[in-house]
A and B are shown apart, each in its own frame.
Chain A
Amino acid sequence: MSTLLTHIAVSDGKIKRASLEVLSRMTQLAEANGHTSEAVIIDANASDHVEEVQKYGASKIYTIENPIFKNHQNTPLLKALSKVMDEADPFVFGFGSTESTKDILGALAANQDAAVLSDVSEFELTDDGIEATRPVMAAKILSDNKASGDNILVSVRSGSYDLNESPTDAEVVDIDFSFNEDELKATLREIIGASGDKIDLTEAETIVAAGRGAKDDEGQELIEELASVLNAALGASRALTEAGIMDPSLQIGQTGKVVSPQLYIAVGISGAIQHVAGMTNSKVIVAINKDPDAPIFDIADYGIVGDLYKVLPPFIEELKKIKS
């Protein structure tokens, strides 16, 4: 019997849904293969999140609580992750593929001499490791991968697995952790544009994404109104984040966030493969574009060929009626 361990990422005081998706998958794999599912919460207020994590089937929950984890910094996070690997000795250690995970995954693998597969969309256990599917070539194709060893790291794309509640009475183990500021190799000077209460794109049920076609003030107002009517998160193509019109944290695509909402509305987005790589797993895709040959129509379930300035006002009105 081996341990399948899941890292529970906390950002802005909230657990990242991607972590709970991985924990749900790990619990399922543990039950099917006679292993144990465990989780680790590393945060300034780690113990506050135990109750939430208990819903997803971990039989043991490690907490590492220290004020240093208030904001993401790679040195203390790596130290904590190494410590929990020593303690829990996991066969597989899973992560939701957040930016913070991407920052440390390679370093942790090098530090622990562990095999690692990043950003997988599916994974299974084998006798000597895992098999996983990864989207490659700008998510145009899928690769099958094998990792072998007795301490494998894997990060999983958000939206790859459903949340699955199976509450347990988990044993909670607080791991003693000290961190001296002198150990910091780098200084976090400040964080700009922290998202705070905004809906996290990777967790959003509905996304309204804007492209080059919606770059002026009027376009931006229409997009915001549409998002507000649908209670949707705002997203952007690279054209708009690069031009400084929308915040870089809103960029969806190969460089940027990978999203999988129920409804994705692409407004004035042509659909370059680098953008499509980040949103092709959406359940329903609606595209509004005045160019009938725009590649976005090749993947959209519903395409509206038309000028967004003419289409959006009646679209917003209609949605308001439906909502009321």
Chain B
Amino acid sequence: MKFYVCIKQVPDVDAPIQIKDGNLIQNTDRMVLNAYDASAVEEALVLTEEHGGEVEVVLVGPDKAKETIRKALAMGADKAIHITTDDDVEYDSAVYANILATFFEDKEYDVISCGKQSQDTDAGLAGSMLAQHLDLPYATNAVGLSLEDNELVVKRQGDSGQEIIGLPQPCLVTCSNDMNEPRIPSLKGIMQSKRKPMESIALSDMNLDESVLSAKTKVTGYMEKPEREPGQKFEGEPEELAQKVANILDEEENVI
């Protein structure tokens, strides 16, 4: 089976962040493979190891995102496509979906997968947008994947339980990070990744219409979130503490 996994380079949410004059100042050394996309790569590797096939990753992003592509190759993906953009582009989910939809127009595949959202923006839109553009059956928020009788069987975490959905191929699925623990690239994997094919396509060469690249939404600024102040911390005899806090919740906070 042929898997395309769409991946994205994002800031590490655990890295320190500063906001200056409404702008986000991030340590640019701390850019990582989106954790949800890493789960999508892992799941594609597991399925192709079991059933045979090929995993190709696709990334839309600036030149510096190459290291993220290398990471996916080092995990075990077979090859990569890098659609290169300028460094400072501000695309929303819709623009990424438009670019990817154009890329996939003439491609053949069984499954396209990606993370269910980016860990920086948490928008969670691009996957289903891409499915709509390509008119593919799709499922989001997958926590498990398997292949049965040529259908991709998705276990999806829904509102009231886990939905088991059969998708005829070709199809698209977006992955939760709850489905697996992405493998850490081995030294051998890292060495091999340097010899794996990585094709670059300049976005400007894709002849996309300007309207496709103009975002309908934009971020106009960032604010610190009003932080919760640490409250009272009690140490001592468990019985006394239990009694004290229970009474505060009842009498002062009125939440019992």
> Are A144's CB and B223's CB within 8 A?
yes
> Are B122's CB and A136's CB within 8 A?
yes
Q: Is A46 an interface residue (CB 8 A)?
A: no
Which segment, of A51-59, A208-216, A279-287, faces chain B? A279-287
Binary interface profile of A, 254-294, with partner B (CB < 8 Å = 1, else 0)? 11000000110000000001100000100111100000100
* Minimum CB–CB distance for B220 against chain A, Å: 5
14 contacts between A and B (CB under 8 A): A78-B132, A99-B159, A105-B124, A110-B97, A119-B123, A141-B19, A141-B223, A144-B219, A188-B165, A189-B164, A194-B160, A195-B161, A241-B178, A302-B248
> Are B225's CB and A192's CB within 8 A?
no
A148 to B216, CA, bound (A): 6
> Are A109's CB and B94's CB within 8 A?
yes
Number of interface residues of B (CB under 8 A): 85
Instruction: Report which A residues bind B (CB closer than 8 A).
Output: 11-12, 16, 71-72, 74-75, 78, 98-100, 102-111, 114-119, 131, 133-149, 185-196, 206, 230, 238, 241-242, 248-249, 251, 254-255, 262-263, 273-274, 280, 283-286, 292, 297-307, 310-312, 314-315, 317-319, 322-323
A249 contacts which chain B residues (CB < 8 A)?
A: 157, 160-162
B97 contacts which chain A residues (CB < 8 A)?
A: 106, 110
Q: Which of B136, B140, B141, B161 has the most CB of A within 10 A?
A: B161
> Are B123's CB and A118's CB within 8 A?
yes
- Given known A-B contacts A119-B122, A186-B165, A230-B256, A305 and B234 have beta carbons under 8 A apart: yes
Q: Is B188 an interface residue (CB 8 A)?
A: no
Q: Is B89 an interface residue (CB 8 A)?
A: no
Q: Which residue of B lies closest to A295 (CB)?
A: B230
* Minimum CB–CB distance for A45 against chain B, Å: 16
> Are B162's CB and A191's CB within 8 A?
yes
> Are A145's CB and B219's CB within 8 A?
yes
Q: Which of A100, A186, A297 has the most CB of B within 10 A?
A: A186
A134 to B253, CA, bound (A): 29
Residue from B116, B164, B220, B253 in contact with A146 in the complex, judged by beta carbons closer than 8 Å = B220
Q: Which of A75, A280, A299, A304 has the most CB of B within 10 A?
A: A304
> Are B241's CB and A149's CB within 8 A?
no
- Given known A-B contacts A185-B168, A304-B241, A311-B242, A141 and B222 have beta carbons under 8 A apart: yes
Contacting residues of chain B (131-182) with chain A, CB-CB under 8 angstroms: 131-133, 136-141, 143, 151, 153, 155-168, 171, 176-178
Q: Is B24 an interface residue (CB 8 A)?
A: yes
Contacts A238-B178, A255-B36 aside, 7 further interface pairs with beta carbons under 8 A come to: A12-B160, A110-B94, A119-B122, A273-B13, A305-B233, A311-B241, A319-B256
Q: Is B247 an interface residue (CB 8 A)?
A: yes
A129 to B159, CA, bound (A): 29
> Are A322's CB and B124's CB within 8 A?
no
Q: Is B46 an interface residue (CB 8 A)?
A: no
> Are B233's CB and A303's CB within 8 A?
yes
A131 contacts which chain B residues (CB < 8 A)?
A: 220
A280 contacts which chain B residues (CB < 8 A)?
A: 225, 228
> Are B122's CB and A301's CB within 8 A?
no
B223 contacts which chain A residues (CB < 8 A)?
A: 133, 141-144
A12 contacts which chain B residues (CB < 8 A)?
A: 160
B19 contacts which chain A residues (CB < 8 A)?
A: 141
Residue from A99, A192, A283 in contact with B141 in the complex, judged by beta carbons closer than 8 Å = A99
* Minimum CB–CB distance for A99 against chain B, Å: 5
Nearest 10 pairs of A and B residues by beta carbon: A115-B216, A106-B125, A185-B137, A301-B231, A106-B128, A315-B242, A318-B246, A194-B161, A314-B242, A303-B233
Q: Which residue of B lies closest to A322 (CB)?
A: B250
A99 contacts which chain B residues (CB < 8 A)?
A: 141, 157-159
A135 contacts which chain B residues (CB < 8 A)?
A: 122, 225
A135 to B256, CA, bound (A): 29
* Minimum CB–CB distance for A42 against chain B, Å: 14
A248 contacts which chain B residues (CB < 8 A)?
A: 143, 157, 162, 178
> Are B161's CB and A286's CB within 8 A?
no
> Are B230's CB and A299's CB within 8 A?
yes
A255 contacts which chain B residues (CB < 8 A)?
A: 36, 176-178
Q: Is B86 an interface residue (CB 8 A)?
A: no
Residue from B138, B159, B228, B247 in contact with A100 in the complex, judged by beta carbons closer than 8 Å = B159
- Given known A-B contacts A104-B128, A107-B128, A315-B246, A254 and B122 have beta carbons under 8 A apart: yes
- Given known A-B contacts A111-B132, A315-B245, A192 and B220 have beta carbons under 8 A apart: no
> Are A102's CB and B141's CB within 8 A?
yes
Q: Which residue of B lies closest to A320 (CB)?
A: B246
A72 to B160, CA, bound (A): 10
Residue from B132, B143, B249 in contact with A284 in the complex, judged by beta carbons closer than 8 Å = B249
> Are B255's CB and A141's CB within 8 A?
no
